[in-house]
Amino acid sequence: MNNKKICFIICVNNDKYYDEMILYLQRLLLPDFIEAEVVVIKDAISMAAGYNEGMKKSNAKYKIYMHQDCFLLKKDSVKIILELFQKDPEIGLVGLVGCEKIPPSGIWWKAKNKMGRVYHADVPENIYQSIYGDFEEDKIEVQALDGFFLATQYDIVWRDDLFCGWHFYDISQCFEFQRHGYKVVIPKQIDAWVLHASGDKFLGPEYNKFRKIFLDEYIRC
């Protein structure tokens, strides 16, 4: 693994979103010793499968898995994340919003102890910041993260054997990292680092299908 390299891995089905996303990535302030690359996965059969494909294509020690509709606003955000990784080898996964303990439902945003923050753009010209929780330290350890932005310093296989769609690939990956003995954390953010232009999405019956698979594999076992 190349510890002087970071790879952004993105599953893409909308080139307009991707083109704008790249403009934000090009503005990032990276450490002088870090080389950056972008791996694009098109026609992925699932998010986990796409991320596994992207992971195998890069020898970068540090990888950031991002949704195509995420725009990284804070120019030094990656520098801060790399500092967290380098200070603590036990940190495996970094995200920006999540919860300290997953509720029995498996739905992280219904937890009482949500943490982090993000800007949302759910409809045109409607941007708002969700502030889930504050803390004094430079990071807080959590159990689950939302998958719009996930940074790693170790390669662990995404569970595409179980999550062959577009839901719970992220929460399951958090639990996989913890199974391997690594910490899952959220860094301190004064203002949200990312604008997530996700729109108003309908989860549908597939969401509950994968929620039950997640609960059976990680919570009820």
Cβ atoms within 10 A of the Cβ of 216, count?
Answer: 12
CA 138 to the chain's CA centroid: 18
Q: Which residues contact 207 (CB under 8 A, 6 or more apart)?
A: 167
Q: What are phi and psi of 159, to 5 degrees?
A: -80, 70
Residue 201: pLDDT band with limits 50, 70, 90 = low
Confidence (pLDDT) at 221: 63
Contact 163, 91 (CB under 8 A): no
Q: What is the pLDDT of residues 87-135, one digit of tens each?
A: 999 999 999 999 999 999 999 999 999 999 999 987 767 888 999 998 9
Closest CA to 67 of 128, 169, 150: 150
Q: What is the pLDDT of residues 140-198, one digit of tens each?
A: 999 999 999 999 999 999 999 999 999 999 999 999 999 999 999 999 999 999 999 98
* Cα atoms found within 13 Å of the Cα of residue 145, Cβ hemisphere only: 29
Q: What is the pLDDT of residues 45-80, one digit of tens each?
A: 999 999 999 999 999 999 999 999 999 999 999 999
Confidence (pLDDT) at 126: 83
* Tokens read off for 8: 């952004």
Question: The domain containing residue 22 runs over which residues?
Answer: 2-219
How far is Cα 210 from Cα 216, in angstroms, rounded to an integer? 10
In this structure, the strands spanning 60-67 and 2-12 are: parallel
How far is Cα 176 from Cα 155, in angstroms, rounded to an integer? 11
How many domains, the chain?
1
Cβ atoms within 10 A of the Cβ of 100, count?
Answer: 17
Confidence (pLDDT) at 38: 98
Residue range 214-219: average pLDDT? 97
Confidence (pLDDT) at 203: 78
* Tokens read off for 193: 């680092």
What CATH number does the domain containing 73 carry?
3.90.550.10
